[in-house]
Structure 1
């Protein structure tokens, strides 16, 4: 097993130098698991932020030969759980197949005070 930590130049850069955006765990058969750090995005509304988050996640996955269809687990942190439907509407535009396993939490605040949503995912990449 080989582990690579990465913040690919082809995706939006992390907001802090204290973490990597992707941990890639390679298995002997050529498959890999991708663990993405929590992502936030700019935007005036929860819908705009959610769209930006999933666009960033898609770019990070793409830089490692994966796509949103490869997501097997998602964890969402919302500052207002009553907005879950608004978040879900946008999420379904990006994750429109069989839904991955999922957990959603309400939190009092996130890394940036203006952030309303943060999402982290795990994806499984098949051997090429």
Structure 2
């Protein structure tokens, strides 16, 4: 098993030098698990921020040969749980198909005070070839 930590140049860069955006855990058969750090995005509304978050997640996955269809687990942090339906509407635009394993939390504050949502995911990438 090989573990690689990465901040792909083709995706938005981390907001701090204290973390990596992707941990890739490769199995000897060529498959891999991708663990993405929590992502936040700019925007005036929860829907705007949610779209930005999923666009960033898609870019990080693409840099490692994966797509949103490879996501198997999602954790969402909302600063106001009453926005769950608004967030859920955007989430369903990006994550279609069978519902994922999931956890959603209400938190008093995120990494940036203006952030309304933060999302982290795990994706399973099949072996190629």
Normalised by the shorter chain, which TM-score bucket?
over 0.9
Find the counterpart in structure 2 of residue 67 from structure 1: 67
Matches within 5 A, 1:1-128: 1-128=1-128
RMSD: 0.3
Give the whole-Å Cα distance in 1 for the aligned partners of 2:96 and 2:88.
11
TM-score (norm 1): 0.99
Secondary structure in 2 matching 1:28: coil
CA distance in 1, matches of 2:99, 2:90: 14
Deviation at 1:97, TM superposition (A): 1.1
Following the alignment from structure 1 to structure 2, what is the Cα–Cα distance between the partners of residues 30 and 98? 25
Moved over 4 A (4+): none
State the TM-score, normalized to the length of structure 2.
0.99
What runs of 5+ residues in structure 1 fail to find an aligned partner? Answer: none
Gaps of 5+ in 2: none
What is the count of residue pairs matched by the alignment? 128
Q: CA deviation at 1:99?
A: 1.5
